[in-house]
Amino acid sequence: MTLSNEPQPTEGLWQRFRNQPVGRQWGAWIVAAIAVIAVFPAPDEASKTTNTKPTPAATATEPPTVTEPPTITKQASVAAVAKHAPPPPPAVAVRKSPRRILNYRLVKVHAKVQSANLNELVIAARTPTGGLEGPSTGDLNDKAGEIFEAIYRAAGYGRNSVIVFKGGLYDSSTGADEPNARTGVYRMSSQQANAIKWQNEDRLLLIEWKNYREYGHPALKQDEGGLFG
């Protein structure tokens, strides 16, 4: 064996790797792969690392102030409504119509309106019963005076009026009642009514109501009554 001081040629790394057994070669490949993965991360992780922005520190901000509506009590709401409500209208006295007043007064004297127009008022009334001998002209006069007072004094009517009395008679030949037979008709014009002081009771007592009679049935007892008989 010859010794020489000259340096021996060095084998390349690749040649030496190839000269290793197969098992060592696979181990070296695995180690190299692990080293590459450790140095160079996967694309997804690299993108996450690259694109991830630093999270800014959370700034502690106070929530917005919410102004709650003022609590309105029942008394305050009622007072507010009462303050802005319009004042109530003034009380108006309800006045009954003259026709209603007239009907009311006529009922009290047992009479009713038969017909009415612009110029004349016709009143229907039953013939007064009278005494034992039946109705008399004086009974009709007194009843006509009561009805005239109801028309002109109480109701304030100011036009012509006619009072028609019916009934209270019977047929002497048959004894049958005659409920629709006229027994008396009284008439007063508006001029005559306006000439009477209806609110003066003393003057009303002096009036002879027979002066306003247009018709009296002959079967009536002729007794005018009144102050002057």
The enclosing H or E element of 160 equals strand 160-166
User: Hey, what amino acid is at 199?
Assistant: Q
Is it the case that residue 226 has pLDDT exceeding 80? no
| 167 touches 161 (CB < 8 A) | no
- State how far the Cα of 143 lies from the Cα of 66, in Å rounded to an integer: 87
Is it the case that residue 27 has pLDDT exceeding 50? yes
Would you say the C-alpha torsion 16, 22, 25, 29 has a positive or negative sign? positive
- State how far the Cα of 8 lies from the Cα of 35, in Å rounded to an integer: 32
Q: At 162, is the pLDDT very low, low, confident or very high (cuts 50, 70, 90)?
A: very high
Is it the case that residue 60 has pLDDT exceeding 50? yes
Q: What mean pLDDT comes out for the span 58-67? A: 62
Q: What mean pLDDT comes out for the span 184-188? A: 97
Q: What does the domain layout of the chain look like in residue ranges? A: 98-216
Residue 229 has a pLDDT of 46
Share of the chain above pLDDT 90, in %: 34
Residue 73 has a pLDDT of 60
Distances (CA, A) of 203 to 41, 66, 123, 208, 210: 135, 87, 24, 11, 16
- State how far the Cα of 50 lies from the Cα of 25, in Å rounded to an integer: 35
Question: What is the token pair recorded at 77?
Answer: 């709401």
Is it the case that residue 137 has pLDDT exceeding 70? yes
Residue 37 has a pLDDT of 74
| 121 touches 160 (CB < 8 A) | yes
CA 139 to mean position of chain CA atoms: 54
